Structures are given as structure tokens and as C-alpha cells.
Amino acid sequence: MIMDKRKNRTYFLMILPAFIGFIILFIVPAIMSFGYSLTNWSVYNADIDFIGFRNFQKLFQDAKTVAAIQHSVVYAILITIIQNVLSIILAVLLNRNSKVTNFVKGITFLPAVLSIMVVGYLFQYIMTSADGGLLNSIIQFFGGQPVNWLGDSNIALYSVLATQVWQWTGYTMVIYVANLKSIDSSLYEAAQIDGANGIQRFFRITLPLLYPATSFNLLMSLIGGMKMFDAVFVMTKGGPGYATETIMTTLIREGFNTGKTAYACAFAVVFFVIVFVFSKVVTYFLDKWEGAIQA
């Protein structure tokens, strides 16, 4: 009993620094942000007064901020679906031990090593509509018409999305490959003896047993998509107009550029609620999936 208490005390002391840091750097600022969101605090206002939920009311009446929320939600859902579907397909195709597949896996993973801003500047050059834009030069070489990838409000957000799918698909693929390595090959052999074809083996064995990697990748892709800032800032700065504004670009602009700090805090609270709800919904369905697998 005494030994157990000593072990518990040792574990507690080991996690205490991280726990204190978590409280100081996350919990306290989160509570302060909610408190400031109910005030008129700004760099232009020396006196801080309580104004209730007026900032939230103003936020949902502003077409630009509402559009930013919509763009972030659409972006997060699309990148989560596209990135994970492509990653699973690549992982299954490349789940072999050979020099060729290892080389392809390395090339596919390579973009994840690069900075998001470096990738943003790279694709800003590739997608530019000016003379010399690599992508439009290729299209014109084959007789097509140039496309204003980053200047057309109908496709600019999806152009940014494509760059991030290119960058992060290899990262999620590696996680799926690691999960595939842990699946017992005898399951596939038994299924093959029973007459199951490749598609049946994938949906009956591979996909259910990819639950650990899928649950992690879905949540990380969703949260990462909701937090997108770097690529949008580098490639479009939220334009044209506010066609590619996201929650984070609007939050930075309102909080730092215009000095409306309390308004930005209100936006941060809304962002937290959206991410929390999305995470809970995804976790709920993942738990249902896990229960179905174990049943």
C-alpha cells in the first residue's frame, strides 16, 4: 500500500510541470478570452466596460466573419475526406517491402517536411495567372485556356486546399502504413481461402482494422483544417474579396490589424465551440465504429 502511494506521488510529481504549464498557457488564457469577449476592450479604448454578448451578435451579423466560418468548415471537411481517402489508397498500394515502394513512400512523404509557408510561396508561383505561371503554361501548351487559380473567387479556396492535400497526404499515409504492418497476414490468407476477393478483403479486414490510424488521422485533419492560416495568408491573404477568409485569418486581422481585441476574443470563443462540437461529433461516430468492430 505504501509502495503504491509512493508510485502515485512520483507519477504526480512527474506530470506536475506539464500540468501547470497546461493550466497557465491554455486554461487561463481560454477563460480570459471568454471574459474579454464580453467587454469592449480594444487598443483604442482605455476603459474596459462589460457589454454582454454584443460582440457575438455583431460577429454573426458581419457577412465577412460568417463567410470565414463557412469557409473553414467546408475546408476542414473536404481536406479530411480527400486526404484520408487518398492516404488509405496509397498506404494499401504501397504496403510492400521493396526498394521501389520505399522510394515512392519517401517521395510522397517529402512535402510534409517542408514548411507550410514555403509550400504556399511555391504554389503561389506555380498557380499564378501572370505570364510564366507553371500550371497555366502547361495548360496552354496542351491547347487549353489559362485559369486564374488564386484570383477567381469560385476556385481560390479549392486551389489552396489542393496544395495542402499535396503536402499532408504523405504524412497521413505513413501512419496508415504503420497500422497496416500490425495487421496479422493470416487473416488475409484465411479470407482468400474462403473465396474473398481483394475488394472484400479490404472492406472486411483492412478498413475495420485501420481504426486506430483512421481515428487519429480524422481528428488531426479536421482540427488542422479548422486552424488553417499559413497557406491562405501566403497564397491569397484571404482574397479575392473575402473568398478565402478562414476563421484564423479573420481572427488575426481583427485582433492585431484592426485592434478590436474583444471582438477577436469573441471570434476565438466561437472557434473553440465549433472545433469542440466537430471533435465530439467525429468522436461519437468513431466510438460507434469501434463498437461495431468489437461486436
This prediction has a pTM of: 0.89
* Nearest partner of 218 among 179, 177, 287, 172, judged by Cα: 172
Q: C-alpha angle 40/44/49, rounded to 5°?
A: 25
C-alpha cell at 148: 486564374
User: Where are the chain's structural domains?
Assistant: 39-116+154-294
C-alpha cell at 291: 463498437
Average pLDDT over residues 18-29: 91
- Number of C-beta neighbours around residue 234 at 10 A: 20
pLDDT band at 2 (very low <50, low <70, confident <90, very high): low
**Using one digit for the tens of pLDDT, what is the confidence trace for 239-291?**
888 899 999 998 888 887 788 889 999 988 999 899 889 889 988 888 888 78
The architecture CATH gives domain 39-116+154-294? Orthogonal Bundle (1.10)
Instruction: Give the per-residue pLDDT at 162.
Output: 95
Does the N-terminal peptide bond of residue 240 adopt cis geometry, omega within 30 degrees of 0? yes
**Using one digit for the tens of pLDDT, what is the confidence trace for 179-224?**
999 888 898 889 888 888 888 989 888 988 899 999 999 999 999 9
Backbone angles phi, psi at 158, to 5 degrees: -75, -25
Average pLDDT over residues 49-58: 90
Instruction: Give the per-residue pLDDT at 235.
Output: 93
User: Whole-angstrom Cα distance, residue 234 to residue 123?
Assistant: 10
Runs of H (alpha helix) within 94-229: 99-109, 116-126, 134-141, 156-181, 185-193, 198-201, 207-209, 211-226
C-alpha cell at 149: 487559380
